[in-house]
Structure 1
Amino acid sequence: MKKYSFLLLALLVIGSKVFCQDTTQHVIPNRKNTTRQQKKPYVILISADGFRYDFAKRYHANNLLRLAGEGVSATSMIPSYPSVTFPNHYAIVSGLYPSHSGLVNNAFYDRERKERYSMSKKDKVADGSWYGGAPLWVLAEQQKMLSASFYWVASEAVIKGIQPTYYYVYNEKIDINNRIKAVVNWLKLPPASRPHFITFYFPQVDHAAHHNGPESPETEKEVIFIDSAVNELQKAVKTTGLDVNFVFVSDHGMTRVDNQNPIGIPAAIDTSKFVISGDGILVELYAKNNKDIHGTYNALKREAKDYEVYLKTNIPAHLHYGAADDWHNRIGDILLIPHVPKVFNLWNSKKINPGWHGYDPAAVKDMHASFYAWGPAFKKRLIIPAFKNVSVFNLISNILGIKHTDKIDGTDDLANKVLVRKKHKKTK
Structure 2
Amino acid sequence: MRRILFLFALVFGFQASLFSQEKKPIVILISLDGFRHDYVAKYQPENLSRFIAGGTQAKSMVPSFPSKTFPNHYTIATGMRPEHHGIVDNSFYNPEKDLVYSLGKRELVTDGSWYGGTPLWVLAEQNGMRSASYFFVGSEAAVQGVRPSEYFDYDGRVPNLTRISKAFEWLQQPDSLRPQLITMYFSDMDDIGHRFGPNNEAQISTRLKQLDHELGALFEGVKSLNQDVNIILVSDHGMAEVTLENRILLDQIVAGIDARVVNSGALAHLYLKDPKEKAKVLKELRKKTGEFKILDPRDLEYYKDLDSYGDRIGDILILANVGHYLVDDQNYLEVVARRMRMDGSDARGEHGFDPQHPDLHAIFYANGPQIKEGLTIDSFDNIHVYPLICKILGLPVPSDIDGKLEVLEPILKD
Do both share a fold (TM > 0.5)? yes
Greater shift, 229-238 or 46-55, is seen at 229-238
| CA–CA distance in structure 1, aligned partners of residues 182 and 165 of structure 2 | 13
Indicate the residue corresponding to 1:49 in structure 2.
33
Selected match of 2:232 from 242, 247, 262: 247
Q: Identity of aligned pairs, percent? A: 38
Selected match of 2:103 from 115, 119, 138: 119
Matched, 1:214 2:198: yes
DSSP-derived class of the 1:354 partner: strand
Indicate the residue corresponding to 1:261 in structure 2.
246
Count of residues in correspondence between the two structures: 380
| CA–CA distance in structure 1, aligned partners of residues 108 and 151 of structure 2 | 18
* 1:278-337, Cα deviation, whole Å (9 max, x unpaired): 22101110011123322221111011322111122322x2x127x636535211101111
Indicate the residue corresponding to 1:357 in structure 2.
351
| CA–CA distance in structure 2, aligned partners of residues 347 and 156 of structure 1 | 33
Indicate the residue corresponding to 1:92 in structure 2.
76
**Aligned CA distance change for structure 1 residues 88 and 236 (closer, same or farther; 3 Å):** same
Selected match of 1:368 from 361, 378, 381: 361
- Paired residue type of 2:66: P
- Contact 2:251 2:329 survives alignment (8 Å): no
**Aligned CA distance change for structure 1 residues 57 and 328 (closer, same or farther; 3 Å):** same
- Paired residue type of 2:195: H
- Contact 1:273 1:292 survives alignment (8 Å): no
- Paired residue type of 1:334: I
Q: CA deviation at 1:147?
A: 0.3
The runs of 5 or more residues in structure 1 that have no matched partner are: 1-37, 422-428
TM-score normalised by length of structure 1: 0.85
Matched, 1:204 2:197: no
The runs of 5 or more residues in structure 2 that have no matched partner are: 1-21, 337-346
| CA–CA distance in structure 2, aligned partners of residues 65 and 39 of structure 1 | 27
DSSP-derived class of the 1:73 partner: strand
**Aligned CA distance change for structure 1 residues 268 and 227 (closer, same or farther; 3 Å):** closer
Indicate the residue corresponding to 2:394 in structure 1.
401
* 1:393-417, Cα deviation, whole Å (9 max, x unpaired): 0110010011133411101123322
Q: CA deviation at 1:272?
A: 6.8
- Paired residue type of 2:354: D
* 1:167-198, Cα deviation, whole Å (9 max, x unpaired): 11111232233222211111111101100000
Selected match of 2:52 from 52, 62, 68: 68
Selected match of 1:380 from 361, 373, 377: 373
Selected match of 1:300 from 281, 285, 295: 285
Indicate the residue corresponding to 2:299 in structure 1.
314
Q: CA deviation at 1:270?
A: 4.6
- Contact 1:264 1:345 survives alignment (8 Å): yes
- Contact 2:92 2:262 survives alignment (8 Å): yes
Q: CA deviation at 1:241?
A: 2.2
Displaced runs of 4+ in structure 1, greater than 6 A? Answer: none
- Paired residue type of 1:372: Y
| CA–CA distance in structure 1, aligned partners of residues 145 and 165 of structure 2 | 29
Greater shift, 150-159 or 227-236, is seen at 227-236
Q: CA deviation at 1:266?
A: 5.3
Q: CA deviation at 1:39?
A: 5.4
- Paired residue type of 2:286: K
| CA–CA distance in structure 2, aligned partners of residues 73 and 361 of structure 1 | 19
- Contact 1:48 1:226 survives alignment (8 Å): no
Matched, 1:287 2:272: yes
